[in-house]
């Protein structure tokens, strides 16, 4: 495997970082060594690009990113693919959450917005995305898991919902991490067999199954471990570097 150039795609939460720390020095050192051998590394996350932690986004050993569950793809500073939720859908979601009092975050390319939640740009009127923020470029949302049936039915018309503790991740229908990965591979003239994906949760099933080699870190959910070709150490305990060593990439 080490004789061919590889593109390695890494999930963020639970893979690169934990709630308590990361990125971890052992993993970064392993990535840097693999890059010196000619391999390329990409963040591959459900987070909107603006919501990628700076401590991850600004690490110089990443060659690009797949964000928003596949709808925002960068190779270096070049944007290869971009798709965002329609403004009328965002206004509909805003109206529902302003009415039901539940929390929702809208994650985009340049900023993160929220309803009934602190820490982000606040949406206070149902038409804010049409009036105040028409260029928000929202790629995904996280929503309260206690939403009512009406709200869920509306969301499921436009988004795929993934159960995350303690919320749902909502990704645009028809889009996927694997689609973003394919965009990167095409730009690099690489194939699926030249691709490695490392993740930890159910929303990584698509990327791990698509990759020529799919790896679950040791703290991954059972479904991802079952789908992976190999299970590495947990995040924070050498999960990434052990995988790279196992594949002969560093």
- Transcribe 30-95 into DSSP letters: HHHHHHHTT-EEEEE-SS-GGGS-HHHHT-TT--EEEETTTTEEEETTEEEEE----HHHHHHHHH
Task: Name the pLDDT band for 3 (thresholds 50, 70, 90).
Answer: low
Task: Name the pLDDT band for 1 (thresholds 50, 70, 90).
Answer: very low
DSSP state of 146: T
The fold of the 7-82+175-246 domain, in CATH, is Rossmann fold (3.40.50)
The pTM assigned to this predicted structure is 0.95
**Which run of H or of E encompasses 5?**
none
Task: Give percent of the chain with pLDDT exceeding 90.
Answer: 96
Paired sense of beta strands 104-108 and 138-144, if any: antiparallel
How confident is the model at residue 165, as a pLDDT?
A: 80
Alpha carbon distances (Å) from 177 to 73, 102, 108, 181, 246: 10, 27, 16, 6, 24
Q: Domain-by-domain residue ranges, the chain?
A: 7-82+175-246, 87-172
Please state which CATH class domain 87-172 belongs to: alpha beta
| Tokens read off for 178 | 């694997």
In the numeric block, the tokens 């039915």 are attached to 153
Q: Is 87-172 in the same CATH topology as 7-82+175-246?
A: no
d(CA 27, CA 31) in angstroms, rounded, equals: 6
Query: pLDDT digit string (tens) for 75-105?
Result: 999 999 999 999 999 999 999 999 999 999 9
């Amino acid at each position: 495997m080490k004789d061919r150039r590889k593109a390695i795609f890494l999930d963020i939460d639970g893979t690169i970082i934990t709630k308590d720390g990361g990125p971890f020095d052992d993993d970064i050192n392993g990535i840097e060594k693999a890059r010196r051998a000619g391999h390329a590394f990409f963040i591959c996350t459900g987070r909107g690009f603006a919501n990628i932690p700076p401590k991850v986004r600004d690490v110089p050993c990443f060659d690009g990113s797949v964000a928003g569950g596949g709808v925002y793809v960068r190779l270096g500073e070049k944007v290869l693919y971009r798709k965002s939720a329609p403004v009328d859908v965002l206004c509909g979601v805003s109206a529902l959450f302003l009415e039901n009092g539940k929390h929702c975050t809208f994650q985009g390319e340049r900023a993160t917005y929220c309803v009934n939640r602190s820490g982000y740009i606040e949406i206070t009127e149902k038409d804010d995305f049409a009036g105040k923020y028409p260029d928000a470029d929202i790629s995904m949302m996280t929503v309260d898991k206690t939403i009512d049936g009406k709200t869920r039915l509306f969301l499921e018309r436009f988004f795929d919902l993934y159960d995350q503790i303690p919320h749902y991740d909502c990704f645009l229908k028809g889009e996927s991490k694997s689609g973003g990965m394919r965009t990167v591979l095409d730009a690099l003239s690489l194939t699926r067999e030249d691709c490695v994906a490392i993740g930890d949760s159910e929303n990584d099933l698509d990327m791990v199954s698509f990759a020529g080699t799919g790896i679950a870190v040791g703290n991954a959910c059972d479904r991802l471990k079952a789908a992976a070709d190999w299970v590495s150490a947990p995040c924070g305990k050498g999960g990434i570097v052990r995988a790279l060593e196992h594949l002969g990439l560093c």
